Amino acid sequence: MEDLVESILDYIRSDYTDYAIMINGEWGSGKTYFWNNKIRNKIENMYINGKQYTTIYMSLYGISNLEEISKKIFIETTQLMDKNLKKFMNSHNQTSIPEYAKTGLDMANFFGVTQNGDRIDYADFFSTDDKILCFDDLERANVDVIDILGYINNFVEHDHIKTIIICNEKELANKLKSSNLEMKTFIATYLLDKEGDLSKVSDKPMVEKIQDTIEYVFDKANDYERIKEKLIGETFEYAPEFNYIINGLLMRYENNTELIRFLRENTRLIIATFNRSGTKNLRILKHSLNDFKKIFEMVNKNYPNTNNRVLQTMLIFTIAVSFEIKAGKITKDKFININDNEEYKSILVSSRVLMDNRQFYIKEFDNNYYYNFKSEYRFFKFIEIYVRTRIFDMKVFKANMERIIDTVDTAKLPGYKRLLTEEYWKIDDDEFGGVIEEVIENLKTGKINLVDMVKLFGYFDYFIKKGLIDYDIKTIKMMFFNGMNVASLTSNYCENMQEEIDKIAIIEQDEDMEEIMKHFDQLNSKLKEKMYMQKAEDIFKCIPMKMEEFYERFDKECMNMPIFKYYDPFQTFQRISCASNEDIVTIKEKLLNRVQLYKKEIEPEIKNIKQLKQIMDDYTSSKDNSIKVVMLKDFAKALQMIIDQYDENTSAKDEETIQKRDF
């Protein structure tokens, strides 16, 4: 790094130069930090031929025209202009205005600066041999790069101002190729058509023909190389000296005593994780450390006795997820469906045999960032959400931390959880038998969740085939059948069981597993019915006293769910009839809209809808008309309209059957 600094300073020290130099490096690698902290001060402390240098730094990020660059130079250098310009030039035998001075004068006119000959020293203003220009973010300007370089060349070639350009040439090349691509393609296609090459039979694909024409007609890359050869005398490749830069990044946390102590103690982990990211983007590292500051403070505030190993793992995970998402290595949704550390570890356990892309990615992620780092808890949902969404979810945070407190010591985990979340081969031989017996005991008493039982059967089937446990598969299968029956009394409905099974790579879809899955499906269907019945009970109870809650839950949970199937029609009528007239109308309109959107999904409830309609008809037929009665009659008519849609389908099918039979 010192060699690079000296090479740049040698350029500044040169008596005469008619070229600029370029510092090339990847985005976020610390090039601007290098300029501000390693180069700028040294240049400004230099005295050459009795003059002290002045640096003028300009970021070209977002610049949309050359005039904006001139404005920036003016703002950096000149406050007031003298109206006696001609007098000054004559007295100093100045026959032309340097390009650099033109910039300032033009901008003075633009800003309407008061002209007063007593308030500016033109000798200083016309001096160019003590000015150093630095243009940063060349590739991020919204002006044609060729135009910018031509503009800068005025300062370099005509005024011999020492100029440093900082950029990412890799991104610059991509920008040159991709700019105005649609217009270039249109013109290239037009030219090929005019020349008769568009329809001409050729071995070369049409896409390649168009690309060749674009490069021939719009070869900006060659223009760039030509002007670069003329303007840039030397290009220096910037490779960050990380140990120096990390100290600068950490200094911002000096006022936070506990955090800075922790970060400095774990500098090696920070550097290792950064290196394993495969990027040189220090900007992402800076952001990730800032995210970790929030995480560290929240953990220390709410859970001050958190294990240091857990905090170290949080640091690694925060940096790792930040790089994976923000460096564009993955899409944000790679981690969305992983809900907790147990699921993360289950995927790792099963990834010995790759079942899908997600398993492959998680395995590679874990092997890369946790290489030679042992930690039982290494996925933090609240951190993943925070990095991905910028929202610190307190509910998830507390749930994660409570879980960490309970599970950070694996010796306290139930045996079945050790099988599901640890690689089974990590269990000592003298422990393995005890773990199996503990699982069987929990299995018999139904203490294990129904979904986990299905997963565990896959392990037991595997262990039997490998000769690791001395049990007959029929005996084990019967134990699981009975245990599943007991567990179903307290388990919840599982919506995506096949996805859960696919996470366990050692599970074979053989005849025994199919029987277990069939039994699970039967029990799970009953759990689904139970869940829907409970949901229907909870939602319909909101009528008529909690209508806002009813509308909110109905819209979110029941639009595509046949909820009327799971609630007694007579009780439904009683609740609706007790609602206000306005609410009766609103519910009616929701049902009519719902059948248009989810006709197939809600068909199972039609039997109860018919009963509800009949109950309303019977009630209103014996009542004198009132607004309430009229509203209920309209409600019944709406129900009939819903019923008719299904009856029409039935009639159409019957008619089609008759026609086929007659034919």
pLDDT digits (tens, 9 = 90+) for 539-563: 999 999 999 999 999 999 999 999 9
Residue-level pLDDT at 79: 41
Residue-level pLDDT at 663: 40
Rg of the chain on CA atoms, in Å? 37
Residue-level pLDDT at 590: 94
> Which pLDDT tens digit goes with each residue over 314-361?
999 999 999 888 876 655 677 888 888 888 887 777 654 444 445 677
Residue-level pLDDT at 381: 95
Between 636 and 205, where is the model more confident?
636
Q: What is the rounded average pLDDT of the residues 193-197? A: 67
Assess whether 518 and 570 both reside in one domain: no
Residue-level pLDDT at 356: 45
Assess whether 398 and 460 both reside in one domain: no
Q: How confident is the model at residue 661 (pLDDT cuts 50, 70, 90)?
A: very low
Residue-level pLDDT at 223: 60
The span from the CA of 454 to the CA of 523, in Å, is 12
Query: Last residue of a domain, which of 408, 435, 457?
Result: 408
Q: What is the rounded average pLDDT of the residues 224-240? A: 77
pLDDT for residue 617 is more than 70? yes
| Residue at 206 is within a domain | no
Is 258 within 8 Å of 293 (Cβ atoms)?
no
Assess whether 377 and 267 both reside in one domain: yes
| Residue at 213 is within a domain | no
**Highest mean pLDDT pick, 60-74, 291-305, 365-379:** 291-305
Closest CA to 597 of 645, 564, 637: 645
Q: What is the rounded average pLDDT of the residues 623-643? A: 94
Q: What is the rounded average pLDDT of the residues 203-228? A: 63
Assess whether 400 and 453 both reside in one domain: no
Assess whether 392 and 483 both reside in one domain: no
Q: Which domain holds residue 492?
A: 419-530
Q: Which helix (H) or strand (E) element contains residue 52? A: strand 51-52
Please give the tally of structural domains in the chain: 4
| Residue at 57 is within a domain | yes
Residue type at 341? N
Query: Last residue of a domain, which of 132, 156, 175?
Result: 175
Residue-level pLDDT at 351: 59
Residue in this structure with the two tokens 């409970």, named with its chain if needed: 534
Q: Which two tokens stand for residue 471?
A: 């049990």
Q: Quick one: what percent of the chain has pLDDT higher than 90?
A: 30
Assess whether 596 and 628 both reside in one domain: yes
Is 281 within 8 Å of 28 (Cβ atoms)?
yes
Assess whether 275 and 402 both reside in one domain: yes
Q: What is the rounded average pLDDT of the residues 438-459? A: 88
Concatenating the DSSP letter of every residue in 480-540 gives HHHHHHHHTTT----S-HHHHHHT-TT----HHHHHHHHHHHHHHHHHHHHHHHHHHHHHH
- CA count, 13 A, side-chain hemisphere, 87: 7
Between 278 and 605, where is the model more confident?
605
User: 3-state class of 151 per DSSP?
Assistant: helix
Residue-level pLDDT at 191: 62
pLDDT for residue 254 is more than 80? yes
Assess whether 403 and 428 both reside in one domain: no
> Which pLDDT tens digit goes with each residue over 138-188?
888 888 887 888 888 888 887 788 899 998 887 776 666 555 556 556 566
User: 3-state class of 136 per DSSP?
Assistant: strand
Q: What is the rounded average pLDDT of the residues 274-285? A: 83
> Which pLDDT tens digit goes with each residue over 92-141?
655 445 555 555 555 555 555 544 444 444 445 555 667 888 999 888 88
Is 142 within 8 Å of 62 (Cβ atoms)?
yes
> Which pLDDT tens digit goes with each residue over 502-520?
555 455 667 888 898 899 9
The span from the CA of 602 to the CA of 595, in Å, is 7
Residue-level pLDDT at 320: 93
Query: Last residue of a domain, which of 175, 190, 219?
Result: 175
Beta strands 51-52; 47-48: pairing state = antiparallel
Q: What is the rounded average pLDDT of the residues 631-645? A: 94
Q: Which helix (H) or strand (E) element contains residue 22? A: strand 20-24
The order of strands in the sheet holding 162-167 is 54-59, 131-136, 162-167, 20-24, 232-237
The span from the CA of 60 to the CA of 40, in Å, is 18
pLDDT for residue 618 is more than 90? yes
| Residue at 633 is within a domain | yes
Q: How confident is the model at residue 237 (pLDDT cuts 50, 70, 90)?
A: confident
Assess whether 510 and 573 both reside in one domain: no
Assess whether 473 and 349 both reside in one domain: no
| Residue at 506 is within a domain | yes
Is 80 within 8 Å of 114 (Cβ atoms)?
yes
Is 264 within 8 Å of 250 (Cβ atoms)?
yes
Q: How confident is the model at residue 483 (pLDDT cuts 50, 70, 90)?
A: very high
Q: What is the rounded average pLDDT of the residues 638-653? A: 76
Assess whether 354 and 503 both reside in one domain: no
> Which pLDDT tens digit goes with each residue over 388-401?
898 999 999 999 99
Q: Which residues lie below 8 Å from residue 36, measured CB to CB, with a gap of 6+?
A: none
Q: What is the DSSP letter of 233?
A: E
Residue-level pLDDT at 10: 86
Is 95 within 8 Å of 125 (Cβ atoms)?
no
Q: What is the 3-state secondary structure (H, E, C) of 562-589?
A: CHHHHCCHHHHHHHHHCCCHHHHHHHHH
Residue-level pLDDT at 382: 96
Concatenating the DSSP letter of every residue in 437-486 gives HHHHHHHHTT-S-HHHHHHHHHHHHHHHHHTSS---HHHHHHHHHHHHHH
Alpha carbon separation from 244 to 8, 33, 34, 251 (Å, rounded): 19, 11, 10, 11
Domain with residue 55: its CATH number is: 3.40.50
Is 463 within 8 Å of 469 (Cβ atoms)?
yes
Residue 467, phi-psi category: left (phi > 0), alpha (psi -120 to 50), beta (remainder): left
Residue in this structure with the two tokens 């907790």, named with its chain if needed: 340
Residue-level pLDDT at 278: 82
Residue type at 457? F
Is 456 within 8 Å of 419 (Cβ atoms)?
yes
Q: How many helices (H) and strands (E) does the chain have?
A: 32, 7
Between 531 and 359, where is the model more confident?
531
Q: Which of 56-70, 263-277, 511-525 has the lowest mean pLDDT?
A: 56-70
- CA count, 13 A, side-chain hemisphere, 144: 11
| Residue at 268 is within a domain | yes
| Residue at 192 is within a domain | no
Is 236 within 8 Å of 21 (Cβ atoms)?
yes
Q: What is the rounded average pLDDT of the residues 418-438? A: 80
The span from the CA of 575 to the CA of 302, in Å, is 46
Assess whether 404 and 431 both reside in one domain: no
Q: Which of 27-36, 119-128, 373-382, 548-557 has the lowest mean pLDDT?
A: 119-128
Residue in this structure with the two tokens 């103690």, named with its chain if needed: 265
| Residue at 499 is within a domain | yes
- CA count, 13 A, side-chain hemisphere, 294: 15
Handedness of CA 382, 388, 392, 396 (dihedral sign): negative
Between 199 and 237, where is the model more confident?
237
DSSP β-bridge partners for residue 232:
20
Q: Which two tokens stand for residue 115?
A: 């002209």
pLDDT for residue 591 is more than 90? yes
Is 439 within 8 Å of 416 (Cβ atoms)?
yes
Angle at Cα 325 formed by Cα 323 and Cα 327, nearest 5°? 55
